[in-house]
Amino acid sequence: MLDRARVVAIPLRARFRGVTEREAVIFDAPGGASEFSPFTEYGDAEAAHWLAAAIEFGWGGADGELPPIRRDRIPVNATVPAVPAEDVAGILARFPGCRTAKVKVAERGQSLADDLARVRAVRATLGDEGRIRVDANGGWSVAEAETALAALSGFDLDYAEQPCASIPELAELRSRLRAAGRQRGRPIRIAADESVRKAEDPVAVARAGAADLLVVKAQPLGGIARTLGLVAEAGLPVVVSSALETSVGIAMGLHLAAALPDDALDGACGLGTAALLTGDVTPEPLLPRHGALEVRRPRPDPELLDRRAASPERERWWLDRIARCHAILSQADPQPGG
């Protein structure tokens, strides 16, 4: 694996979840290019899930085959970082044809007024028929989330993604929102992300009745087959999202979305995030066209891999990380819930 690995570093167009440059390992694997790109702050035990996914996608699953796909195009949403309201229209222009937008809120150092201005600008750009989701990345307490979502409810939100950090907080907030919804109309739905991909038991949030739908990501959950099993066990609708990957990693998420049963997907998926990067590792990146992505596996270009190559120090850091994560995989089943 190490002989087949190339480490790249690609700047983002705007700061996203505190990141300004995305690092990733691209494998020239027998089954096609694969990616390993856990965020740098994650420990080895968590990052091992991502390596298991990269191995499955590049070297094949337990039986050497990936789960079959059911569709060849996946509708995707636009993703709006925590940018000033005046930058929203420019961000949305990078997602041609997308009629759903996920908007980052609860950014450190920003206020609810900033969130309201950003979401208002998205609504103005999308029009009344567009769908808006907000993603707080667990940044609110229950009281803060209740206040913020009441203020944002006038924009007819599709759902709020991970408004609070813990499962008990999500359950409490969902109960409060449902009570408020009985008085004022349809309650805002709760989507769980970190409570799925960073949990020892990814299905616990569903069993606790703490979410209306799940946001699932192929790399953090240990691969396509593993995620399909978790979705079936949870019994909730899902949205497949990216982990801010290159087009190689996006292709893994696309395969997952294309393999899900028809009744499992809940609207547009969050797989259009290659548009947030200033470049890619392939001359044919997976970028939205007419609001969707074609399910395909792009081939990295050697010249682009050279151009995006990380420094020797960062390359060594990533190769050492792969070796440590591979050792974890060889010793025990590191899959979530395993």
Alpha-carbon span 205 to 329, nearest angstrom? 26
Which is catalytic among the residues 6, 104, 118, 189? 104
Distance CA 273, CA 277 (A): 7
Q: Any binding-site annotation on 306?
A: no
Residue 198 falls in the annotated catalytic set? no
**Choice among 174, 217, 226, 321 that is catalytic:** 217
- Whole-angstrom distance, CA of residue 217 vs CA of residue 40: 17
Q: Looking at residue 103, what DSSP letter applies?
A: E
DSSP per-residue string spanning 221-258 = TT-HHHHHHHHHHH-S-EEEB--S--HHHHHHHHHHHH
Question: DSSP H helical segments within the chain, as ranges?
Answer: 44-59, 88-92, 112-126, 142-152, 167-184, 194-197, 204-207, 224-234, 247-259, 302-307, 312-331
Q: Would the annotation count 135 as a binding residue?
A: yes
Residue among 44, 34, 40 nearest 17 (CA): 40
The answer to the question of whether 233 is labelled as a binding residue is: no
Are 287 and 305 in contact by the 8 Å Cβ rule? The answer is no
Tokens 């094949």 sit at which residue? Answer: 60
Distance in angstroms (rounded) separating the CA atoms of residues 17 and 61: 31
* Biggest CA-to-CA distance, the chain: 61
DSSP designation for 137: T
104 catalytic? Reply is yes
Task: Name the residues annotated as catalytic.
Answer: 104, 217
State the binding site for Mg(2+): 135, 161, 193
